[in-house]
Amino acid sequence: MGAATTIDASTHVIALVAVTFLVAGFVKGVVGLGLPTISVGVMTATIGLQPALALVVAPAIATNLWQGLSGGHFRELLRRHWPFFLAATLCTWIGVAIVVWAASPLLPLVLATSLILHSSLSLMKVRLPMPSGGGHALGVVMGGATGVLMGMTGSGSVPSVYYLDTLGLDRNRFVQAMGILFVLLTAALGASLAERSAFDPHMIWLSIGALLPTFFGVYAGQRLRRRMSETAFRKTLYLSLMALGVVIIVRTLMRIL
């Protein structure tokens, strides 16, 4: 990963960023996640993985702060699931290190495969066995896996979504927990990238500029989510994740072939 990759902030690139984050923000507003997965997937296919990871930092942190602090369950979620959050945050550095040591165009396929597998299991209502005593050990394992995948692909959706769903959280606690997790993951990702000088001025300004379409999309998506039932919400969540996995596979193979 090394030095920052510079891209030309042309009108075409700016328009692509605006549309991408508008759509990604809308999906996040509906299901509580998907912003990094969509934006990094599209941007990787056009400007490369390293700039895409840098570009998503500002919109992801801003929207997840909003999502994580609203809902009224912040202290409860942090108290009950801090081992999961901590493991995910720390292991993000491991994922970024893997990208540095073993840079490969096939890395996005790891994310895509895990998204499709997770969504399929969830739609079939196959759940993890939850140990007695709160499941902190399982939380550490699942948090660690989430952090590694976040560092490798820019997305922490898997297996975090599967784990939190297994806990039986209602949709409001689920969405807020994902917001808290993604704030921590994105902050860790941004710090790791900055440590490796992976930012350049163009990426910083583009990332900040992407906030406007992102928030507009999130607001529209949240309005739709409030009208959905719990059942419709979860089906939409898993079908969206499965679709994201398919899109990533197609884009990755097109880029390689």
Token duo for residue 49 = 């993985």
pLDDT at 95 over 70: yes
Question: CB-based contacts of 107: which residues, under 8 Å, 6+ apart?
Answer: 49, 99, 152, 153
pLDDT at 1 over 50: no
Place of tokens 């999502």: 67
Q: What is the mean pLDDT of residues 137-165?
A: 87
Question: What value does the mean pLDDT of the chain take?
Answer: 82
For residue 48, give Cα distances in angstroms to 17, 29, 226.
Answer: 13, 26, 35
Question: CB-based contacts of 157: which residues, under 8 Å, 6+ apart?
Answer: 33, 34, 36, 37, 115, 118, 241
Token duo for residue 47 = 């400007």
**Pairwise CA distance, residues 176 & 178, whole Å:** 5
Predicted local distance difference test score (pLDDT) of residue 218: 92
pLDDT at 58 over 80: yes
Q: Which pTM value belongs to this model?
A: 0.75
Q: What is the mean pLDDT of residues 188-209?
A: 76
Q: What is the mean pLDDT of residues 11-16?
A: 85
Residue 89: band (very low, low, confident or very high) from pLDDT cuts 50, 70, 90? very high
What is the full DSSP assignment across 89-137? HHHHHHHHHHHHHS--TTHHHHHHHHHHHHHHHHHTT--PPPPTT--HH
Residue 35: band (very low, low, confident or very high) from pLDDT cuts 50, 70, 90? confident
Residue 201: band (very low, low, confident or very high) from pLDDT cuts 50, 70, 90? low
pLDDT at 253 over 90: no
Amino acid at 74: F
**Pairwise CA distance, residues 180 & 66, whole Å:** 9
